[in-house]
Amino acid sequence: MDVAPLDMLGMLDKHYAQAAQLPEHLASKALDIEYCFINETGESPHPMTGGFKLVVTHSIETCPPLDILLIGGPALSYRPSEPIQHFIQHQYEHVRALLTICTGYIPALYSGILDGKTATAPRGLLPMLKEEKPNVKWVEKRWVRDGKVWSGGAMANGMDLMAGFMWEEFEEQRELTEMMMGMADFVKRGPVY
């Protein structure tokens, strides 16, 4: 489910718009999206939950500057290495937005990106996070934005997060976004549960 929001964002891509044979006034608003799938070493494929294997395109050393950094949810026991933390910190300085989905808050948290920010995480973890990580203002919402940090609650809220992100960040593509969400039969829900 953490990769489904990428699919949603991909519906704004020029190639998707062309394949969907959209009217010119909408197709002309489509974006040129290039995905980078990153892990520390660049070793591919990268194992994920459910037996899914992600084809990695870059290591943290070969990754180009990003516009958007989306961090999907690792296992709860995951702690990012120092090189991963440095990568996230460096990319954060330059990105348009950093998005976390579900336990994707973990790498952002340990990288210091969430310090002093309002953020969310899976609802069941919020009491523990409020107690153990008080340097973050944890809120119970589907998703929350604090500056260029967007955080999502549980994995299903990743779609809500991406819908809110697309709606707010791609104003010029709003009509296209609305049409694509309709085609995907996605019902836009706000941040409040």
What's the Cα-to-Cα distance from 37 to each of 64, 68, 142, 161, 179, rounded to whole Å?
11, 12, 25, 19, 27
Buried b (16+ CB within 10 A) or exposed e, 4-38: bbbebbebbbeebbeeeebeeebeebbbebeeebb
Residues 6 or more apart in contact with residue 14 via CB below 8 angstroms: 27, 30, 31, 32, 33
Task: Give pLDDT tens digits for 9-66.
Answer: 999 999 999 999 999 999 999 999 999 999 999 999 998 888 889 999 999 999 999 9
| pTM of the full structure | 0.94
Per-residue model confidence (pLDDT) at position 1: 57
Buried b (16+ CB within 10 A) or exposed e, 120-139: bbbeebbeebeeebeebebb
Per-residue model confidence (pLDDT) at position 97: 98
Task: Give pLDDT tens digits for 132-176.
Answer: 999 999 999 999 999 999 999 998 999 999 999 999 999 999 999
